[in-house]
Amino acid sequence: MKKVFDTQNLSLFYGKNQALKNINLSIFEKSVTALIGPSGCGKSTFLRTLNRMNDLIPDVSIQGGVWFGDTSIYDKKTDVIDIRKRIGMVFQKPNPFPMSIYDNVAYGPRCQRNYSKKEMDALVKEALVKSALYEEVKDRLQRSALELSGGQQQRLCIARALAMNPEVLLMDEPTSALDPIATAKIEELIVELKKNYTIVIVTHSMQQAARISDQTAFFLLGDLIEVEETKTFFATPKDPRSESYITGRFG
């Protein structure tokens, strides 16, 4: 399988506090990688290193390397805007803009270049179809996105990311604020999307990781304890700390 990301001895500090410790992890094309571990273990911090979202936090310093294909993400010559365009992100809580459903999806592409109305209509429809939302909203595209349910809002945020035509989707606990039915829809969507996109998801739910991911990486106190094919990881974890976490002895 083709590597999409490769992190090499990646360490991250918030001031003097070390949040990531020498992380070596490869992420592969058109697959789902789940990052699991207890709160505060570094999994969301790691996710944000993949598209330089940590740049927005004061007093952060990074050592080691993050490679996106042949691009060194933290090289001074790397275009951060291009990186974030190619690597989309979906956050824990749905965060639609206070504008219409249509304009939410069109917002990013409009910032990139001028589209004709016909081109933009097609782009918005395609993104909403890909996010399994189009049939539910096609008759109210000019209504406020804030009228949608939580699960619909999260799928709209996924559509908004897909409208930028990314290669990768990063998802930071995308279902933690949703009910079980909305969660199931997002999980089905993720499985469908991996046919065309590389997905990295932070999740607190080991059941979710087991259901939808191909590879699972277990973080603990800033260390990457174990990374393995998901079925193998949950059936026969190599590290006793992994086994303790999976069996609920801590976390």
- Mean pLDDT for the chain overall: 96
pLDDT tens per residue across span 158-186? 999 999 999 999 999 999 999 999 999 99
CA dist 26 and 202 (Å) reads 15
φ/ψ of 206, rounded to 5, equals: -65, -30
Report the pLDDT averaged over residues 199-228.
97
Copy the structure tokens of residue 142. 């000019």
What confidence tier does 133 reach under pLDDT thresholds 50, 70, 90? very high
Return d(Cα 138, Cα 121) in angstroms, integer: 11
Given this model, what pLDDT does residue 251 score? 63
Mean pLDDT confidence for 93-97 = 95
Distance CA 169, CA 186 (A): 13
pLDDT digits (tens, 9 = 90+) for 96-125: 999 999 999 999 999 988 999 999 999 999
Tens digits of residue pLDDT in 218-249? 999 999 999 999 999 999 999 999 999 999 88
CA distance 8 to 63: 9
